Amino acid sequence: MRRWTTPLVRHGHARSVCTAASQLEGAAAATHPQAKRTITATITSLDEDGDAIGYDASAPVHTNRPLRVPFAVPGDTLAVQVWNKDLVRSDFTSAMFAQLETIEQPSEHRVEPLCSKFFGICGGCKHQNVRYAEQLEQKQRRVESMFTDRGIPVTEPIRRIQGVESEGDAGLYRYRNKMEFTCSTGRWMLDDDKTEDEEVLPEFTLGLFPVASVSTRRARTQKKRRNGRHREWNSRILSIDSCVLQDASCDWLLQRIRSLCEELNIKAYDFHTHDGFLKNVVLRRGTVGDDKEIMVGFVTTTLEGETEQQQRLNQLVETLVRDFDLEQQTGNVVSIVQQVDEEALRHRRETAAEKQRVLFGRDFMYDSILGHHFEVSLDSFFQPNSTQASQLYRVIQEQIVERMSEKKPIVWDLFCGVGSIGICMGPHVERLIGFEIVDAAVEKARKNAEINGYTAEQMQFRRLDLSNHWSEVESQLLTLAEDPATRPDLIIVDPPRAGLHKKLITLLTRLAPAQICYVSCNPETQVRDLELLCCGETAPYSVEMVQPVDMLPHTPHLETVAWLERRHN
């Protein structure tokens, strides 16, 4: 039986948790004694992928290639293994992978991770071993260097990143309002999972994808560099019974769902044959009121009601609701929804007339941001940290009040999703028009506006694909801009990680609103787009303000708000 893990490093030593991958590395080293060598590295920073970046402490500066060392901490002095082939490459700019062996001198920023069982193996949060103040400092430097490297001028200095206000359970941990767990017939084996019978494999695993080993990531990077793409992945799942990023009531639900699946013999999805029944379990928990609402989602390969597996799932739901009440868990389970997995249908060349079914309660739950309430369905995009989302949206509110005080502006909200940003701006705008590609999200945005007391005249939401069909996009937006009643004073854009399409950037310059607010979950693509809008003497806009917000502590993820004003060239 093959097993995979990565080493988990503790002060002064590395604890290896198993592995065919490491055994193969050892065999390769025995065959090729010079395949790897050990060097001393000093760690200086964290990159956008969450890896630590360091340098060979003894190498000359002009030949010192950056080292990428997963799970190291800025300020560490480490003994690391590197591949000799990487050392002789002529490219001294791209970082090469290094495997942490021992910690020679721990950083003052190094702390013990709260999740001692899974940290270093789970791919969920990479920075639990980094003091939170240093996490914020690294994110701040990353944003500043991106703007500097692109040569994007900012009128005022980039603001200090807004971190969590509480460093307890309400801030640094237990902050996620949504977690998605995967079911699989394959398990990523740890020492605790080993049995005397090496041929016995668990048939049901519920958890998260593990982080790949350093050697695997190195091989993937090199193959992608050669071939332009790399699509290999492993379907083995790390069995998780709790997560410090979700509420304790969701931990209980996760544990009970797993035990009931095993008791009732519910079949996990097989990623190779595409057989099986249950593929994902989604847990959502709201923040409204004392009795927080909870939604449970089961993503399955079919919704056929007469199958044996479906009947077992119905039995699971009945037992789960009863036991949750008996255990007097905090929160209130108001929704249990089953949804068919589109990808599984495609692999099996099947279709489904019914895509979703309510198994208990209703098909939505309530959550809130900045005092506004929102209906959230199973697959709605909603900021995963409601508390930090309030900080993020408050920044936009303050800019509208400060910079557009003469009259309430007409605002367009591009990529509006379920309408959360635009609706939270409601008290400060004359009129809002939101644009979104997903029909269900558009309907939910209209409903959310109504819930918060806005009329259809005050807030409109339209379906529009802002990454394709450019003749339709131009026609709709330019027509709206010709009418003084709908011409935008401010356009808010909150695109996916890929950023804005160049044609949309060109269209923004034609629409020429007085202000643009660019909200981004990926600063790399944000600065790329801002370079087109704000660099050069003839650039139509200037960047007035940049505010980073730490959305997900212990991860490399952050959001940035950039405020643009039209130049009078």
* 436 labelled binding-site residue: yes
Pairing relation of β-strands 278-285 and 178-184?
antiparallel
Helix or strand (DSSP H, E) at 524: helix 523-534
Measured in degrees and rounded to the nearest 5, phi and psi for residue 298 equal -115, 120
Q: Is 427 exposed, middle or buried (0-12, 13-18, 19+ CB in 10 A)?
A: middle
Helical axes 308-326 vs 248-264, angle rounded to 10°: 140
DSSP state of 62: G
Tell me which residue has tokens 């557009």: 404
How far is CA 262 from its chain centroid?
Answer: 29
DSSP single-letter state for residue 426: G
Whether the CB-CB separation of 152 and 536 falls below 8 Å is answered with no
Place of tokens 């990680």: 497
* Residues contacting residue 537 through CB under 8 Å, at least 6 positions apart: none
Please name which of 94, 96, 102 lies closest in space to residue 76, comparing C-alpha atoms. 102
The residue from 122, 517, 521, 534 that is catalytic is 521
Contact 518, 547 (CB under 8 A): no
**At CA 245, angle to CA 518 and CA 126, rounded to 5?**
75
Task: Please confirm, yes or no, whether 250 is among the known catalytic residues.
Answer: no
494 annotated as belonging to a binding site for a ligand: yes
Taking residue 228's Cβ as centre, other Cβ atoms within 10 Å add up to: 7
Q: For residue 219, give every residue at least 6 positions away whose Cβ sits within 8 Å of its Cβ, in sequence order, or none.
A: none
H/E run at residue 388: helix 386-403
* Cα 11 to Cα 107: distance, rounded to the nearest angstrom: 10
The residues annotated as belonging to the active site are 521
